[in-house]
Amino acid sequence: MTFSDIFKSSFLENVTAVSVLDMVIAIVLAFCVGMLIFYVYKKTYSGVMYSSSFGVTLVALTMITTLVILAVTSNVVLSLGMVGALSIVRFRTAIKEPLDIAFLFWSIAAGIILAAGMIPLAVIGSIIVAVILIVFANRKSSANPYIIVLSAEDQKAENAAVDFLKQNTKKCVVKSKTVQKGLIEVNMEIRLLDESTEFINTLADMDGVKSAVLVSYNGDYIG
């Protein structure tokens, strides 16, 4: 009995199912595309705290997906077992930024396409997606919503401040209001006329206004 006879599941035959050259090319291309995704993620990130570990995860996810699909495409029986094995995987990390989901799917899709041998589709498609994300994700507009946290001494100061905001913004809507003795705090959603925020300085200097805070609104605000 030879050494190969011990492996009745034809394990040794699967070793050469994918050539070394194909593996190297696929992994190198997956790394390059993953680095492109990482670069675009870094350039387009607009959250509060940038996480470099998530960017590294995108690179690793592209390469790991490529390895998995290479294994699946080389053996039909293995592909059936792989489906069952991957079905038990659960990801419980919360995705805080909606755009992060797009980057995750981009990494997975790029790895699948590269492993399937569609190199032009993976490379050209990734470049097109990268250009679109850089152009639109970094695009800033004065129509973006902002939140103003206004603190006033009395009703008269509040009315004067609200009238001033309505005259210097496109839109001004009260979201919440807290009243205490000697203090009125109002949270308002506004749209700027342009990119200038000098009106906040004037608002803070008005009589009866204790403070005025302008915050960029990204959907995570809890009033």
Domain CATH for 210: 3.30.70.260
Number of H helices, E strands in the chain: 9, 4
Instruction: Please indicate, yes or no, if residue 23 is contained in any of the structural domains.
Output: yes
The model's pTM: 0.61
* Whole-number pLDDT of residue 222: 40
* Whole-number pLDDT of residue 36: 94
Q: What percent of the chain has pLDDT over 90?
A: 16
Per-residue pLDDT, averaged over 66-83, amounts to 69
Residues 34 and 119 in one domain: yes
Q: Which among 104, 137, 170 is the end of a domain?
A: 137
Whether the per-residue pLDDT at 53 is higher than 50: the answer is yes
The pairing of beta strand 169-180 with beta strand 145-152: unpaired
SS3 percent helix, strand, coil of the chain, rounded to 5, is 55, 15, 25
Q: Which among 109, 137, 165 is the end of a domain?
A: 137
Residues 100 and 180 in one domain: no
Enumerate the β-bridge partners of residue 147: 189, 215
Enumerate the β-bridge partners of residue 213: 149
Instruction: Please indicate, yes or no, if residue 169 is contained in any of the structural domains.
Output: yes
Whether the per-residue pLDDT at 37 is higher than 90: the answer is yes
* Whole-number pLDDT of residue 7: 45
Report the mean per-residue pLDDT for the chain.
79
* Alpha carbon 22 to chain centroid, angstroms: 32
* Whole-number pLDDT of residue 217: 67
- Residue predicted with more confidence, 141 or 25: 25
What residue numbers bound the domain in which 99 lies? 3-137
Per-residue pLDDT, averaged over 14-42, amounts to 84
Amino acid in the structure at residue 143: A
* Whole-number pLDDT of residue 110: 92
Whether the per-residue pLDDT at 128 is higher than 90: the answer is yes
Structure token digits, residue 63:
């390469």
Residues 79 and 132 in one domain: yes
- Token pair 């959907």 is found at 219
Q: What percent of the chain has pLDDT over 70?
A: 74
Cα distances from 182 to residues 110, 151, 155, 157, 197, in angstroms, run 59, 10, 10, 11, 28
In sequence order, the 6+-apart residues with CB closer than 8 A to the CB of 55 are 38, 41, 42
Task: Say how many domains are in the chain.
Answer: 2
Whether the per-residue pLDDT at 194 is higher than 90: the answer is no
What is the C-alpha to C-alpha distance for residues 2 and 19, in angstroms, rounded to an integer? 24
Do residues 24 and 70 make contact, with C-beta atoms less than 8 angstroms apart? no
Residues 150 and 123 in one domain: no
In degrees and rounded to multiples of 5, residue 159 shows phi and psi of -60, -40
Q: What is the pLDDT of residues 155-187, one digit of tens each?
A: 888 889 889 888 888 888 888 888 888 888 988
Residues 111 and 210 in one domain: no
